[in-house]
Structure 1
Amino acid sequence: MTDTPETPQRATDPVDYRDTVFLPKTDFPMKAGLAQKEPAILDRWARIGIYDRLREQRAGRERFILHDGPPYANGDIHMGHAMNKVLKDIIVRSQSLMGKDAPYVPGWDCHGLPIEWKIEEAYRKKKLNKDEVPSAEFRQECRDYAAHWVGVQAAQFERLGVMGDWADPYLTMHYDAEAAIAGELLKFATSGQLYRGAKPVMWSPVEKTALAEAEVEYEDVTSTQIDVAFEIVEAPNAPELVGAHAVIWTTTPWTIPVNQALAYGPEVEYAVCRVSPTGSLTGEVDEDLSARVAADQKAHPWFDVGRVLVAKPLVAALQARAMQGDFGIWLDPELELKGSALAGATARHPMHALGGFFAKPRPFLPGDFVTTDAGTGLVHMAPDHGEDDFALCKANGIEPVFAVMDDGRYRDDWAWLGGADERRLSVINPKFNAPEGPICSDLREAGALLSAGPFQHSYPHSWRSKARIIFRCTPQWFIPMDGNTKTVRAEPVEARPLASEGRAALRQAQGERTAGAAADELPGFAQSAGFGPVVNPVAGNAPTLRDLALDAIERTRWVPARSQNRIRAMVEGRPDWVISRQRAWGVPIPIYVNRKTGDYLRDEAVNARILDAFRAGGADAWFAADHQALLGPDHALADYEVVTDILDVWFDSGSTHVFTVEARYGEGVRADLYVEGSDQHRGWFQSSLLESCGTRGRAPYDAVLTHGFALDGNGRKMSKSLGNVVDPLKIIGESGADILRLWVAQTDYFEDVRIGKEVLSGTGDAYRKLRNTFRYLLGALDRFDDGERVEVRAMPALERYILDKLGRLDRELRAAAEAYEFNRYARALLDFANEDLSAFYFDIRKDSLYCDAPASAKRRACRTVFDILFHALVRYAAPLVPFTAEEVWQARFPSDDGSVHFLEWPELPAMPGDLPVGTEWEDVRRLREAVTEAIEPLRRDKVIRSSNEAEVTVPDPLLPPDMLAEVFITSTVHAGDALAVTRTRHHKCGRCWRHLPEVAHDGALCDRCAEVLGA
């Protein structure tokens, strides 16, 4: 009865039968009004204590722990937050639906630069200097700021329908959490998995701190590329090179003032090339050009270098860059040599005339990282500012000089560009590195600049300040990736005397403690300041942290499976973990370093007192501590340096499993699942893995799910500057959280996903269809009770077929939920509701439901199936659209303290094994589609108005004709040679509107309706 209105029109028969038709009846509205209803449902959940009651009900059941990755508490939630939290909630609710005890403890990352930066921004607006504010006051402002945004975000996450322990979340700034974080650090220290050393780390001159890889984002920039000539002064294996100039290429001109060596490739083929004026690549100079040559030599002093050393494959590239074609470079075939001939050679720095540091010869060192992919095949080495540079120079006895200060400027006593020179800028300032800037100008004047021009490339930036970062050698604390994790022991490193030019910078860096230090105190001070590691991790036979992490990766389930390759590659190639930061807001590194030996104190009694202090007063206890009291009677404070660096916030978040999972559920318990965006392979997934492997020898999780990012409707990254930000709070306020939740479930969230008006419009349509399904079920089940129920064995074939389809759906949904594939889950559920029910089963059974007698076997079977469908579908939908599922459940089973979310996975009736389930119905459905398609032209041409007026001929009936007529919703069905449709000659029943042979005239009753009415 697809065309049956809720109130049949009068036919020729004057009798009005509308009150005799059993139409669906429900108060459940089609218009959702979610934005208005959802807050009231949230209030009800809070009133009945739904989360705590669910924990009570599931006590003793198999537990499923999804450990929440902590967002930063520093602003309103964005679409990435919403997508992440909704996905987690869907997973947790589905596990609860499957009968497990699935707690969810939300958490926040409260320390670190993002929050500290916000407080500093407020200071800058007031023209205040953070360094002038007492540390305790500044830290309290950070704590208050974080607490405010925890409250704001918690309310916003709850509004999304996320069910969790909002009354007792975990915060990294809780005292017990700070104590646990400090305790984890002390475990690394006690086992010897900690050392202090001076290595190049990613450094933000704006924030004045080291950064982790996860705190860095890459942006395309235009830098200045330069070619610089270093005069070769010694070459024992190739004396003919003396006087020639080795050319290096770099995109960081600011590193030239700290150059200490040149690297070459031992197997690279090099050549000496001559410099020639434009117009001659053969070396022959026309006499008419002599005046121009003289002018060029005056304008470009570097022309005097005469001969340059460059890798043969890169000669043409150097020629192309060299002063935009003012000069030619051609190969001298008599001077070709292999890189190995450069062993023992030295060159002098272009600024050697400044004396001191710049007068020292620069050795040529063999580097396996030197290639001929770009540049000149020779690489200048600045151990202060590059990992390869540092490693190669250190292996050859060359130490960093620490010339660049924390704000990115050269220190006052540096001979080139230090002090009060008006050209003294931060090294990340574009003017400093520009072709006309101080670096290039001085090199040009010195006759060493061969080229200077723009170069576009990707470059790391601080994700907070958006400013460029640098690699800077500073004293930092490290966890070694390749030190032995079981038998590491610390050995003091022999102190080295400080170079005179380093003392001022070191005193400035260390503050009052070292002011006026005597010369004989400086070696130990150099050690603690980072001139060489304080301890050496000595490898043994036990696995390294890298070994343990890689093994744990293999033992972990990764969803999707390909994400395993990503994190494995990152762990395989990552350097030692830099865990120290030079900031104020965070958990301090509670370590005491012996001033004489450089080793840090390892004393269980001291550690216990430190942790007691942390539990009582949080991290602030370290900064305000009576350190002699913490050290106790066995150690004198005068013998120890108190470390004041704070921990990398990734160490904080990497330790959350300790004070959340283990603290709440028992020592040794680990999470079943971590869920975050793909960027967390280098962030939380990895820091948690390394922390747990270093202290427990295994991962803190059994499985890890990675999702993509939310993009705008055009697939672009959301940005305020682009004006394409989609605000989840606005969507909730206009359309409701369930619309946003259904969007999340429908997306292929393992990839980046799009959201915009068109996308949400499609989600809205899907939601309305699902809601309409529930509305129809509610109406059709009006006044249904168990006395009406029919056993499966007594049901018609169509009902058995639908129950079989429901069983298949049930298995598909359970498999999808266990695989965390909720796009598959949502698609299966929506397709079943739309295609199997609304467009097929409901459509066919409307006639029986509306017009059969209440006691008829077919109608009772139909209503029994409807009841089974209702109980199953409302449960299936509950994880996806929890507000709507609750509204649906309460519409049928109103209760002051009940909830659909207390229910478990439905138990479907068993199908009798000796009865066919109706697999032939798949063929019937295909035939039905063909019939519907054949009827449509007649409807379009107004030959018939509805399918009820059609008589159909089919070649293979498959079912009895009267049953097929009911399925096709047509007048009659006949067997014939081919599919055909004609207008029926039968009259229309005045009650059910079917055109049947027994109806005497339009408006009269068919036999079925007459029997129902007792006519």
Structure 2
Amino acid sequence: MTDASDTTTRDWRDTVFLPKTDFPMKAGLAAKEPGILERWQKIGVYQRLREQRANAKRFILHDGPPYANGDIHMGHAMNKVLKDIIVRSRSLMGRDAPYVPGWDCHGLPIEWKVEEAYRAKKQNKDEVPVAQFRAECRAYAEKWVAVQRAQFERLGVMGDWDDPYLTMNYEAEATIVSELLKFAESGQLYRGAKPVMWSPVEKTALAEAEVEYEDIVSTQIDVAFEIVEAPNAPELVGAHAVIWTTTPWTIPVNQALSYGEDIEYIVGLLFEGEAGFIGPDRSEMPLIRERGLYIVAAPLVDQFEERIGRTLHERGRFKGSQLAGAKARHPIYNALRHSREGGNPEASTSANLDSRLRGNDGEGDAALAFFAKPRPFLPGDFVTTDAGTGLVHMAPDHGEDDFLLCKAHGIDPVFAVDAGGMYRADWAWLGGQGSVINKKFVAADGPICSDLRAAGALLAATDDFAHSYPHSWRSKAKVIFRATPQWFIPMDRSAPSEQPGAVRSEPSANGPTLRDTALDAIERTQWVPARSQNRIRAMVEGRPDWVISRQRAWGVPIALYVNRATGEYLNDPAVNARIVAAFREGGADAWFTGDHQALLGAEYDLADYEPQNDILDVWFDSGSTHAFVIEARYGEGTRADLYLEGSDQHRGWFQSSLLESCGTRGRAPYDAVLTHGFALDGQGRKMSKSLGNVVDPLKVIGESGADILRMWVAQTDYFEDVRIGKEVLGTTSDAYRKLRNTFRYLLGALDGYTDAEKIDVRQMPELERYVLDLLGRLDADLRDAAEKYEFNRYLRLLTDFAQDDLSAFYFDIRKDSLYCDAADDPKRRGARTVFDVLFHALVRYAAPILVFTAEEVWQARFPSDDGSVHFLEWPELPALPGDDAIGTNWEDVRALREQVTEAIEPMRREKVIRSSLEAKVTVPDLPLDAQSLAEVFIVATVRQGDDVVVAHTDYHKCGRCWRLLPEVAEDGALCDRCAEVVS
């Protein structure tokens, strides 16, 4: 026992080993990160890492290219950070993980912006020389590539920023056209007039991936077509087949009617003089001028009667198959005929109808001929009784089903609607008028419905049909299906069994089709999450042929020569090689401004061939990136380990890359595909400027730092849509501070530590071996999570370990030994050895996510002019002796510790005990010796009893370590341990 007289008044703080570090508790990330980023750029971290990993197994995450047309948004930030976390984690695991960022530089997003500048100056873009316009598009893209590159780098994304890929680079454009010509040479390309998604505003075809669906309210109409022939049911001649449609503008190009062969139809009477509601204002007016029979599918009669406000009096029933061979008159024919003959004698005919008919000019005969031709009834397996009348009007110009059914019966499109959505000037009815997407034009009181009403064919018209409708995701305007000559890659034709340019819609029996190959490749690819495989499989199973042509200027041209006499494209490898070489030297401009005769060579006369001026779908551009990024940099046949984008890319980049590679290489360009959700606001709403709920990643970085944003990305369940807002970021910041404080404590506790202090695991106390056992289990779980791309689990494991296993448990227990034991005490040396192992492990584990903080932590302990935490590999942990029971024993200890803590807390609140060190504890079981348990529980003493009981100890407090021990004579005196240390 010590003599208290010499020790009770002494201040012992100078003898205690308190943690010491300059690492600040306050992060100040927003101000600090740019300096770290500048240092990385200066020492060339990315390139040096490539050199260090030169002989390692490669892991390639191929970057899907964003459009170069504006500041980055939260979706960009989420996507790029997630990619960076994955790339860095694979690098940490010893792989050579290059990352080549890229940009999509062609297409409408950029062209539209350049056009806006012309419109602002009241200039017509079409009057500008194509070379000048393309140069302005290139300059616009270059500007935004530079802006976005700096913004992505500020996020801490590590990559080959000095040599990214751009789809507008000459080499890229040459490869894109080379990939196109592979399709052409193998016969997997044709030109045909089929209905495609068409934007009248942008005046170009669109791919499905360029379309979004919005809820709208349309005009729905019921129109009567008079039957003029019915060989299988003569009694139906003179009756009216009723069709229902929500696209009134397609009636002027109607060419047939379709029925269901097995559907039961009712023919019924609507009597003369009955009143019906057919006006747009629901006013009463005569429904029909003559007694007539009307035909509607039996299951839909109730809906039909509700729409027209009248009752159909049944006079008979028949199967749809009896309509085979029947024909009907177009409802506008009589009005057009009367106009051609010098005026419409019908008193009820609209005075405006004549002005909308081209029947009194020199083209009258041709105009009349189209509408005079009877419309055949065709059996359609797509006709249902879900809605409408069970009879469908066919406009092969404007519907996929319409086109295929009519084509099978020798009926071709007539191309009446022009690129801007107007009826062409020479069209018999409504020529030069439109636009067909204009709501007023197609409304119940608009010209189409007014003319049908005047012709006595309109049974009902209301502007109240709510449904989903496709819109261009760029202009936000409604799109239409429109048949135009386009270039297609067929999904169901085997190559090369047919002549180039031939059109064929049925599958070939000569081998696997592109659809077959793609579906097989989907099965051979890993999809993360697994459910996303079903999504893309369904899309590929049901997709139509790939329309690859666009009627724009900024892009890679469809570099083909079409024979003016045969309509077939020239398929000559020598010509194709010259085209690719010209592109490699001068980019795509070589096609628009080059010498076509020189490209054709002496074998062909340019007068016989028409160079194509349509450009390629930008999805073909981005779908070809595997060729000019992965294969060009890492060798022919190399494919990416991983593609990673948002879930919308199942119909976009994932699919276009799959089809392009399957068509040219017979396989997918990737081994695995990861899909993430979208970033929503804090309430789970889609971000939009109109709602004012946009969370700007640049603002978050400027206020809180990139590491907070990166930590948020890793925290989310990014396989689903995720939320971000002030509250969410606040939670992230709290988690960040706890992890930062763990590093700060480790740095302070390791002050002055060298390898000379290290001791062998077998010499360590059991608590240290237990912590190393926990670390080993964490290590395995983290590696598993990283390999499965589950970084929300990864981060949760890491932060829980730091907070629960270290800060709240191990650090709390070992503070006494760290601060108060002698410097060479085996227990303290063991703890400091474990702290060193923890530091090296945790800073590596955190580095893929907290890229700036991990660097700051590493440099705080190992300052270096040219070193970096990101050069390190996965930690090698010390091997533990084979003691399987250590983990189980200590889990029991921790459970008992929690019970003791819970028992002490009420006494602390009541101030009976100010600190747990003042407690003497009784517990029902002693999994360790009593002295060790007192150290673990941080109490004065522990003894065995019947239950957990806490009381205030009678011992005195050591003036140095503050423990209450039996050998301390009075408060302030030293315990035996402390007396020996300070002696």
Specify the code of the residue in structure 2 equivalent to 1:435: A
- Give, in angstroms, the shift of residue 492 of structure 1: 6.7
1:366 to 2:335 alignment: no
SS of residue in 2 equivalent to 1:919: helix
Distance verdict in 2 for CA 1:538–1:774, change over 3 Å: closer
1: CA distance between counterparts of 2:643 and 2:291? 61
The answer (yes or no) to whether the contact 2:761–2:880 under 8 Å persists in 1 is yes
- Give, in angstroms, the shift of residue 317 of structure 1: 0.6
The aligned runs of 1:803-952 (5 Å cut-off) are 803-913=772-882, 916-952=885-921
Distance verdict in 2 for CA 1:732–1:277, change over 3 Å: farther
The answer (yes or no) to whether the contact 1:480–1:537 under 8 Å persists in 2 is no
Specify the code of the residue in structure 2 equivalent to 1:823: N
Specify the code of the residue in structure 1 equivalent to 2:94: G
1:731 to 2:726 alignment: no
Show CA shifts across 1:106-139 (max 9, x none).
0000000000000011111111110111110000
1: CA distance between counterparts of 2:105 and 2:695? 25
The answer (yes or no) to whether the contact 2:521–2:668 under 8 Å persists in 1 is yes
The answer (yes or no) to whether the contact 1:492–1:597 under 8 Å persists in 2 is no
- Give, in angstroms, the shift of residue 448 of structure 1: 1.2
Distance verdict in 2 for CA 1:177–1:438, change over 3 Å: same
- Give, in angstroms, the shift of residue 412 of structure 1: 0.2
- Give, in angstroms, the shift of residue 913 of structure 1: 2.0
Specify the code of the residue in structure 1 equivalent to 2:775: L
Show CA shifts across 1:915-937 (max 9, x none).
75342111111111111111111
Which of 336, 341, 352 is equivalent to 2:322? 341
Task: Quote the residue 2:120 is aligned against.
Answer: 125
Specify the code of the residue in structure 1 equivalent to 2:298: K
1:227 to 2:236 alignment: no
The answer (yes or no) to whether the contact 1:949–1:983 under 8 Å persists in 2 is yes
Which of 475, 480, 496 is equivalent to 1:465? 475
2: CA distance between counterparts of 1:245 and 1:791? 97
SS of residue in 2 equivalent to 1:302: coil
The answer (yes or no) to whether the contact 1:609–1:630 under 8 Å persists in 2 is yes
The answer (yes or no) to whether the contact 2:225–2:330 under 8 Å persists in 1 is yes
- Give, in angstroms, the shift of residue 329 of structure 1: 2.6
> Runs (4+) of structure 1 moved beyond 4 Å?
535-538
Task: Quote the residue 2:250 is aligned against.
Answer: 255
Which of 306, 311, 331 is equivalent to 1:328? 311
Specify the code of the residue in structure 2 equivalent to 1:867: D
Task: Quote the residue 1:474 is aligned against.
Answer: 484
The answer (yes or no) to whether the contact 1:276–1:328 under 8 Å persists in 2 is no
2: CA distance between counterparts of 1:929 and 1:46? 49
Specify the code of the residue in structure 2 equivalent to 1:482: D
1:386 to 2:396 alignment: no
* TM-score, reference length from structure 1: 0.91
* TM-score, reference length from structure 2: 0.94
Distance verdict in 2 for CA 1:342–1:940, change over 3 Å: same
Deviates further, 201-210 or 945-954:
945-954
**Identity, % of aligned positions:** 77
The answer (yes or no) to whether the contact 1:481–1:544 under 8 Å persists in 2 is yes
Task: Quote the residue 2:519 is aligned against.
Answer: 550
SS of residue in 1 equivalent to 2:99: coil
The answer (yes or no) to whether the contact 1:226–1:251 under 8 Å persists in 2 is yes
Show CA shifts across 1:531-578 (max 9, x none).
xx4x88983422110111001101111111111111011001100000
The aligned runs of 1:261-272 (5 Å cut-off) are 261-272=256-267
Distance verdict in 2 for CA 1:968–1:21, change over 3 Å: same
The answer (yes or no) to whether the contact 2:198–2:206 under 8 Å persists in 1 is yes
Show CA shifts across 1:357-392 (max 9, x none).
111111110000000011111111000000000000
Aligned residues: 942
Task: Quote the residue 2:345 is aligned against.
Answer: none
Which of 97, 108, 114 is equivalent to 1:113? 108
Task: Quote the residue 1:506 is aligned against.
Answer: none
Specify the code of the residue in structure 2 equivalent to 1:350: P
SS of residue in 1 equivalent to 2:767: helix
Which of 293, 300, 322 is equivalent to 1:307? 293
SS of residue in 1 equivalent to 2:844: helix
2: CA distance between counterparts of 1:482 and 1:548? 10
Task: Quote the residue 1:350 is aligned against.
Answer: 331
2: CA distance between counterparts of 1:813 and 1:182? 44
Specify the code of the residue in structure 2 equivalent to 1:366: P
Which of 395, 411, 422 is equivalent to 2:424? 411
Distance verdict in 2 for CA 1:852–1:213, change over 3 Å: same
The answer (yes or no) to whether the contact 1:268–1:338 under 8 Å persists in 2 is yes
2: CA distance between counterparts of 1:919 and 1:858? 22
1: CA distance between counterparts of 2:237 and 2:231? 9
Task: Quote the residue 1:152 is aligned against.
Answer: 147
Show CA shifts across 1:676-704 (max 9, x none).
00000000000000000000000100110
Deviates further, 806-815 or 936-945:
936-945
The answer (yes or no) to whether the contact 1:579–1:647 under 8 Å persists in 2 is yes
SS of residue in 1 equivalent to 2:423: coil
Show CA shifts across 1:89-108 (max 9, x none).
00000000000110000000
SS of residue in 1 equivalent to 2:194: strand
Distance verdict in 2 for CA 1:491–1:559, change over 3 Å: closer
2: CA distance between counterparts of 1:417 and 1:710? 46
Show CA shifts across 1:472-504 (max 9, x none).
00000000001103x3331676xxxxxxxxxxx
2: CA distance between counterparts of 1:642 and 1:537? 29
Task: Quote the residue 2:43 is aligned against.
Answer: 48
Specify the code of the residue in structure 2 equivalent to 1:719: S
Give RMSD over aligned pairs: 1.8
Specify the code of the residue in structure 2 equivalent to 1:910: A
- Give, in angstroms, the shift of residue 273 of structure 1: 2.5
Show CA shifts across 1:242-274 (max 9, x none).
222111111111111111111101011111122
SS of residue in 1 equivalent to 2:886: coil
SS of residue in 1 equivalent to 2:156: coil
- Give, in angstroms, the shift of residue 297 of structure 1: 12
Distance verdict in 2 for CA 1:297–1:83, change over 3 Å: closer
- Give, in angstroms, the shift of residue 975 of structure 1: 0.6
2: CA distance between counterparts of 1:66 and 1:171? 17
1:187 to 2:182 alignment: yes
2: CA distance between counterparts of 1:47 and 1:936? 53
2: CA distance between counterparts of 1:911 and 1:688? 48
Which of 426, 429, 440 is equivalent to 2:438? 429
Task: Quote the residue 1:978 is aligned against.
Answer: 947
2: CA distance between counterparts of 1:34 and 1:187? 51
Specify the code of the residue in structure 2 equivalent to 1:478: F
The answer (yes or no) to whether the contact 1:192–1:537 under 8 Å persists in 2 is no
Task: Quote the residue 1:624 is aligned against.
Answer: 593
Show CA shifts across 1:155-193 (max 9, x none).
000000000000000000000000000000000000000
Which of 697, 702, 711 is equivalent to 2:666? 697
Task: Quote the residue 1:22 is aligned against.
Answer: 17
Show CA shifts across 1:859-907 (max 9, x none).
0000000000000000000000010000000000000000000000000
1: CA distance between counterparts of 2:943 and 2:134? 85
SS of residue in 2 equivalent to 1:472: strand
Task: Quote the residue 2:77 is aligned against.
Answer: 82
1: CA distance between counterparts of 2:904 and 2:312? 83
1:104 to 2:99 alignment: yes
Task: Quote the residue 2:755 is aligned against.
Answer: 786
The answer (yes or no) to whether the contact 2:645–2:675 under 8 Å persists in 1 is yes
1: CA distance between counterparts of 2:237 and 2:189? 46
The answer (yes or no) to whether the contact 2:757–2:833 under 8 Å persists in 1 is yes
Which of 196, 206, 213 is equivalent to 2:201? 206
2: CA distance between counterparts of 1:365 and 1:984? 98
- Give, in angstroms, the shift of residue 625 of structure 1: 1.4
Mind listing any 5+ residue stretches in structure 1 that lack a counterpart?
Answer: 1-10, 279-284, 494-532
Mind listing any 5+ residue stretches in structure 2 that lack a counterpart?
Answer: 1-5, 337-367
The answer (yes or no) to whether the contact 2:228–2:327 under 8 Å persists in 1 is yes
Task: Quote the residue 2:162 is aligned against.
Answer: 167
The aligned runs of 1:444-843 (5 Å cut-off) are 444-453=453-462, 454-485=464-495, 487-490=496-499, 533=503, 539-843=508-812
Which of 435, 449, 452 is equivalent to 1:440? 449
